[in-house]
Structures are given as structure tokens and as C-alpha cells.
Copies of this chain bind each other. A is one copy, B any other.
Amino acid sequence: MAVPPAGPRARYREQVTAEVRGLAWSQVESAGVSALSLKAIAHQLGMTAPALYRYVGSRDELLTELVLSAYRDLAETVEAAASGEPAARVRGIADAIRAWALASPQRYLLLYGTPVPGYQAPAEATELAQRIFAPLHTALEVLTAGSRTPAGRAGFDRTVRLWTRVHGVLGLELAGHFTTMDVEPERLFADEVTSVLDD
């Protein structure tokens, strides 16, 4: 693996770059994507706005980095949860997704909420979305190997169903629609995961 130049300057550069990403995330997490502001980040770093262009190509590029890193993080979370007995594995992955979403609602909404108008995610996002989908799909396939649900189309449909049910609960929960409704999201979520296992 090629190690990039690691002099003191490169070191400093990486550190500031990390701070930029960190501040960008805290903007998104506290007030959504629309709050992402290069000028605000610069001032929080104690520098003037143009200096930020040493670390960021443009606002759109920064946004793309956030989106991709969120996808990557979720993919890793899902992959890390993919272990154990088949049924428990599906449940484990689903619970990991919910925990990931609740840990940072705006990060989840950045990926699966209302699309940012005029912004088109890069092709890599699609690949990462598949990396998130795959462990769920595999877990469900293992669960029913040689039993009721046939493979192929029907198996794919089942994974999609799991995904939409998971999002159905999370999307409404994160948007606050259960607070006025006497719903226990946790139980509802668990039941929805079970419903797909029982399919």
C-alpha cells in the first residue's frame, strides 16, 4: 500500500481536513443538509472562508463526501452485524440499522429522506447501497435455504420487503410522526422484522 507523504505539513493537512468533515457533520446533524455552509465551517475553524478551499473543492463535493461516507459507514455497520444464527442474524442487522439511524437521524435522512433538490448522488452511492442490501439478502436466503420461500425473484422481493418495512418504521419515527400517536417504535420495528421472517 502506497503511504502518502507524511511530513508535518501532510499531517496538519489531514488533521484540519478531519476537522472540516467533523464540523460539516455537526451542521448536518443539528439542522439538516440545508444547514451545510462552507462559510460557517471556516469561521468555526477560526479562518476566513476562502481558506476552506484548501480542503474542499466546493460545497457540492463536500456534500458528496458526506453522502458517500454515510453510505460506507452504514455498509460497514451492516456487515459487522451479519453474524450468528440465520434468524438472529436478520434481526441483528435490522437492529443495527435502526441503532445507526437513531444515533444520527439526519445522517439517515441524508441517505433516505427527501432528496436534496438539484443534487445527484454519484454512481458510487448505488454500489454502496447494494453493499448494504447484500448482507440482508444473504441472511434471508440462508434462513430459508431449501424451505418455503424459493430463491431468485421471490427471494429478492422478500429482501426488498424487509427493507421497505424497516424504512417505513424508521422514516416515520425519525420524522416524529409517532410522538402524537401512542406507538412504541421499538416494538413496532421488531414486529415488522418478525413479519418478514415469518413470510
Contacts and interface: CB of A to CB of B under 8 A. Distances in A.
A114 B105 CA distance: 10
B175 A188 contact: no
A194 to B, nearest CB: 11
A140 to B, nearest CB: 16
A124 to B, nearest CB: 12
A115 to B, nearest CB: 5
Interface residues of A, dominant DSSP: helix
Interface of A: 31-32, 34-35, 109, 112-115, 117-118, 126, 129, 157, 160-161, 163-169, 171-172, 175-177, 180-181, 183, 188, 191-192, 195
14 contacts: A31-B117, A32-B114, A35-B117, A114-B114, A115-B175, A115-B176, A129-B177, A160-B181, A160-B183, A160-B188, A161-B191, A161-B192, A161-B195, A164-B165
A14 B114 CA distance: 32
Contacts of A172: 112, 163-164, 167
Nearest to A123: B180
A112 B174 CA distance: 10
Nearest to A179: B126
Contacts of A167: 168, 171-172
A161 B163 CA distance: 14
